[in-house]
Amino acid sequence: MSTTSNTGKVPVGGAEIYYEIHGDGPSLVLLHGGVNPSATFGAPLAVMAKTHKVIAIHMRGHGFSTDGDGPWSSELMADDVAAVLRQLGIGKARFMGYSLGAAVALQVAIRHPELVEKLVVVSVAFRTDGDFPEVRQAFAKMPDMAAAIGQQLAASPLAQLYPGVDWESVMRKSGEMNLPGHDWTEGIKTIKAPILLVFADADSIRPEHMVEFWQLLGGGLHDAGLDGSQRPAGQLAILPNTTHYSLIDSPLLTEVATAFLMQ
């Protein structure tokens, strides 16, 4: 991992949101997946910090951030991220989010569009039925299993890395925030920033939904023309030999993300 140049916490809505800054260059907000920030803030952070000033933000209740009393939502976490950027005096940034972080990045673009220059959205559904049914079933079971899973995590190396985390609460709130249905179609239509969608070829998201997401952004609707002049502003990548759970570790992810962000 690159040398950390700055760390801090910003009080927001009963929580303290932790951030750290790595590298130099255009500002890139890196948003982790659920439960385990270290998966995103390991090798991917180090690679992205070679070309960007990476602002790595721990979502409330995760990593080194504290939590408030209320339930979680992507919208709430997006407001947390916006508060951190305003505290740091960052008026506009590029964003890269994975899974939970991708949902939060989309909500930042919907709720705080003035902060977003470009988006890399990795493995997320814009509507509830985009997930495979077994994924929805797993979220539904998670609150009741939170105590048992939390005990396992509390005895794992992850707990040594993040000793302040209430693992039972993380599992319970993660399940609860994913229980309600959502459909962000209309909000996504308002996003003006170019978006790179990235999925695994064996993702937790249905391939039909990937295509629908791409079409929602103007892609896949017609031929781009011999000179490519009719192609949309955004891009789509489906990475081979990856799953939702291994995608973050693929060198191809940071390769296509860097190419998109630096265009």
List the pLDDT tens digit at each of the 263 positions of the chain. Answer: 455 679 999 999 999 999 999 999 999 999 999 999 999 999 999 999 999 999 999 999 999 999 999 999 999 999 999 999 999 999 999 999 999 999 999 999 999 999 999 999 999 999 999 999 999 999 999 999 999 999 999 999 999 999 999 999 999 999 999 999 999 999 999 999 999 999 999 999 999 999 999 999 999 999 999 999 999 999 999 999 999 999 999 999 999 999 999 99
Strands 4-12 and 15-22, bridge-based pairing: antiparallel
Looking at the domain assignment, is residue 96 inside a domain? Answer: yes
CA distances, 41 to each of 45, 90, 192, 235, 245 (Å): 5, 20, 27, 24, 15
Domain limits for position 102: 4-132+183-261
Compute φ and ψ for 184, nearest 5 degrees: -100, 20
Question: In this structure, what CATH number is given to the domain that contains residue 202?
Answer: 3.40.50.1820
**Would you say 41 and 21 are in contact if contact means Cβ atoms under 8 Å apart?**
no
Q: How many domains does the chain have?
A: 1
Looking at the domain assignment, is residue 94 inside a domain? Answer: yes
